Copies of this chain bind each other. A is one copy, B any other.
Amino acid sequence: MVDMMAALGRMKRKAGYHHGDLEEALVQTVQALIERDGVGDFSIAEACKSLGVSTAAPYKHFADKQDILSHVAKSGFEDMTRQMEAARDQHPLGSTGRIGAIGKTYVDFALANPETFKLMFGSTPDVKGNDAVKSVGHACFDVLISEVASFIGSTNEAADSLQVSVMLWTFVHGAASLAIDKDYEVARMDVDLHALIEAAGSRMLGHRG
């Protein structure tokens, strides 16, 4: 018993105190469990078991379950922002390709991390109210919004760029949501997501009707 615990401890210890970095390890483990079981069905207890710590240990690092979820959501926004910026930067300045790349990355992130995506944009009050989450959320939105704004703003058509930004975000978010929830499948529609987004995007960025 003591031997096992000591061995486990050695495996996970990296620096500092007993576990090493239980806080970061918990966020990663919980994120994996959320993707496997869903936000509603995962348990902190299982995360503890797989990390070899007691079920009381997390409460030295987090206030409660919602607090852990907030950290997972924050990490998700950081990842998403990085991916959107990288995709955007592969297209020349001022081109519509930059906007398309951001939108496609938005959808691809949702498909790759559906439950984390739902956590990020769902309405759990404690997560949404968290200041750190709000902050990284704004940074993430700004990548899309400011890109659209700069493109529309540099066009001779004087329509408000904010309205177009909202329209694009709305559409891309709807596509991501219906795709990850398998609603297209349930409605017996097989949808080419990237083509769909391109078609809608050109209508919204083109002449107004």
Contact = CB atoms under 8 A, between A and B. Distances in A.
Interface residues of A, number: 48
Interface stretch (A8-16, A45-53, A186-194): A186-194
Contacts of A145: 187
A59 interface: no
A111 interface: no
A7 interface: no
Interface in A156-173: 162-163, 166-167, 169-173
Given A114-B123, A187-B138, A209-B206, A173 B177 contact: yes
A72 to B, nearest CB: 15
A196 interface: yes
A208 B205 CA distance: 11
Contact of A169 (B123, B137, B178, B180): B178
Contacts of A208: 199, 203
Contact of A175 (B122, B141, B174): B174
How many copies altogether? 2
A186 to B, nearest CB: 6
A179 to B, nearest CB: 9
A65 to B, nearest CB: 11
A207 interface: yes
Contacts of A121: 177-178, 181, 183
B141 A187 contact: yes
Contact of A202 (B38, B39, B199, B209): B209
Contact of A171 (B39, B134, B170, B180): B170
Given A128-B186, A137-B187, A170-B174, 6 more contacts: A123-B182, A138-B186, A163-B196, A173-B183, A203-B206, A203-B209
